[in-house]
Chains A and B, each alone.
Chain A
């Protein structure tokens, strides 16, 4: 625990949500890692009396939470914004069944796409699934709102959503611990088929309950202390929720503000009251005009996306400049510098695979994970990446469209965790519908991108307890793939041979690239052994440089320097390995034909 002072804690929004879940008496929690949501379950699993797990995907995670709720327990599902797309199917119908124990889904949205493929606004899900949604502004509020969401969920018999964004999830602030709430629902089996079996005849009845429930929730929104008018200068009045509220308070500290902690359903009366109070009404929100659209539908005039950008994150300056351009503060222009994009780690097993792909004339249908960085130069070998699991069906679809001979032109590539998440069904389809493309599974034993979470192929649980490790080769054979290869990606030339053979086959094939992530604790704990450059043997061919490894750098020769140092006159430079950064993978040594890279003997 992280004491800021004696009675308060210094916590990120995600840590605060984990504490809030514990204080709310959550008994079962499930989800799938995804930035910026991951740390919620990583922290919650350390509290006593809570069962936490990583599910193979968000749909399963939410369904586990629904099951726990049906059994009377308070249950939590956590995921990133795009994960809710995966979980949307159970979400929309759980809205019909309602709950036993309180059920909350935390959606962690990523405006600005710091670590995401899109910046969808998941407030729209609350509207579409007819569910209440709370939206905190900071870590302390995130904890309090999560607890309130459980009370609300049970009182109104509805799943509730808590929406956070990167600037709540990964912001640290001062948090006060609170009381642990006693359970209100008894754990046990309750047979209530009219409520839980969503056959059309029963669902039609529940549909009416939904409308009635939303009416009562509107009443709650009118009186909830989370929706409050903070009176002030009434010349400009602001409506805001989530982190946007903080930007408004800082940009216009004197102004009247209606803070909406419950962002769905909306308190129409309170909004009318506030609109009538102020001369000019401004709705300040990130991404979609969600509040604005519904407020305008009430017939209330306001400014919103006519001024406030709909793309990316907001901040105090953006809000101030949009509303009061005269108050703009000038800042220095950026300096043109060489970019520093993220890169695969030194020793990353993915690098060898992408190096090989960059030398094969194939379209690489990629997926979501660290390996998406294979897109970046110098490897530049990813040609498409849409969403979790999409690599496999996209390659199949392309192969069908391209027709005869396409099997050797398109490959798909996916990580172990992503394959288990939603790649398996795609592979089944490839086999069932008879196309012949090659799938490469990058099995590094862990969900690496989000910071080393175990998955069903890792052999351990979120608690670090031993678990069954999915047999990827066996699984691929079981779905009908007859050609399953396993390679060591650190041996770059050998891997190339296998890839070439697999791609030429006119039947479906899978190449499993198996080598652990270098960030795994057991890999970090290894005795540090590195490779080094015998620079006298280096001919400057740049084969190792083309790997793009952060441990290898190029030193260009000045004019005449090559001869002076005893190299061929035409040599342009030499490469050098930084032995501190090197992680002992040996990919560069497997490529060097001049005996210029050697492993240091331990």
Chain B
């Protein structure tokens, strides 16, 4: 297996980033890759900016992505898509949930949410794939599947068969939520194409 890659997940604590990164990791492993993933727990989870780093390839040494070496970023919030710009390179793909979650300084009226924030990416030759994950999740009948919508969009950019993702979702998600999650995945995949 020659392919390798670095996937950065970013968002706000509580958005389901860990589950999304887990489904992706299991799918890459099932497809025959080695993988390593870094998470930060504790203080970082209290509504703050959160990331998970997933690396795959024939053999993965370091669990951390080098600055400038994330090939794909899956951003669950628009500003969090831009916060980790130093991790990206020209030609990276950023799949971004077009949702705005106001940080404290914005919510309390001290500063404004930046306008056209994604321009920081497209102006640097970074491909932006916008996904209205919240809306797509609502359309399939469960707003809490927005994270799986994002995995669906991501899957369009990975060397892993859709069937592998579907099987992993089947085993990782409680049975009564299985169908709705598979629908969410499919909706995301369509949006990613």
- A interface residues, Cβ below 8 angstroms from B: 4-5, 10, 12, 35-36, 38-39, 114-115, 138, 166-167, 170-174, 243, 246-247, 249-250, 313, 315-317, 329-335, 337-345, 370, 373, 376-378, 449-451, 542, 545-546, 548, 550, 552-556, 573
Contacts and interface: CB of A to CB of B under 8 A. Distances in A.
B35 interface: yes
A341 B104 contact: yes
Contacts of B41: 35-36, 38-39, 115, 170, 451
30 contacts: A5-B29, A5-B30, A10-B29, A10-B35, A35-B41, A114-B42, A115-B41, A115-B44, A138-B63, A170-B38, A170-B39, A171-B37, A171-B39, A172-B39, A243-B62, A247-B61, A315-B66, A316-B62, A332-B68, A334-B86, A337-B114, A338-B114, A340-B12, A340-B49, A342-B47, A343-B104, A345-B47, A550-B104, A553-B107, A554-B107
Nearest to B11: A340
Contact of A344 (B46, B49, B80, B111): B46
Interface in B32-85: 34-49, 60-64, 66-69, 79-80, 82-83, 85
Given A174-B29, A337-B79, A342-B45, A331 B107 contact: no
Contacts of B47: 340, 342-343, 345, 550
B138 interface: no
Nearest to B77: A340
Interface residue tally on B, bucketed by range: 35 or more
B191 interface: no
Given A4-B29, A330-B68, A173 B42 contact: no
Contacts of B66: 315-317, 329
A24 to B, nearest CB: 24
A542 B111 CA distance: 15
Given A36-B41, A138-B36, A552 B62 contact: no
A110 to B, nearest CB: 9
- 9 shortest interchain CB distances as A-B pairs: A115-B42, A35-B42, A331-B68, A342-B48, A342-B46, A554-B109, A115-B43, A553-B107, A340-B103
Given A337-B114, A337-B117, 14 more contacts: A12-B39, A38-B41, A115-B41, A171-B36, A172-B39, A247-B64, A334-B83, A338-B114, A340-B47, A340-B48, A545-B107, A553-B107, A554-B108, A555-B109
Given A339-B103, A556-B109, A174 B42 contact: no
Interface in B77-106: 79-80, 82-83, 85-89, 102-106
Given A10-B25, A10-B29, A573-B109, A334 B35 contact: no
Contacts of A333: 85-86
Contacts of B61: 246-247, 249-250
Contacts of A373: 46
A343 B103 CA distance: 10
A555 B106 CA distance: 9
Nearest to A174: B34
Nearest to A372: B43
Interface of B: 12-13, 25-26, 29-30, 34-49, 60-64, 66-69, 79-80, 82-83, 85-89, 102-109, 111, 113-114, 117, 120, 124
A314 to B, nearest CB: 9
A173 B26 CA distance: 11
A35 B46 CA distance: 14
Residue with the highest number of chain B CB atoms closer than 10 Å, among A36, A166, A329, A335: A335
Nearest to B34: A174
A339 B109 contact: no
Contacts of B36: 138, 171-173
A166 B64 CA distance: 12
Nearest to A343: B47
Contacts of A174: 29, 34-35
Contacts of A332: 68, 85-86, 88-89, 124
Contacts of A342: 13, 43-48
B42 A345 contact: no
A334 B85 contact: yes
Contacts of A344: 46
A35 B45 CA distance: 12
A376 B43 CA distance: 13
Nearest to B66: A317
B47 to A, nearest CB: 4
Contacts of B86: 331-334
A546 B110 CA distance: 11
Nearest to A346: B47
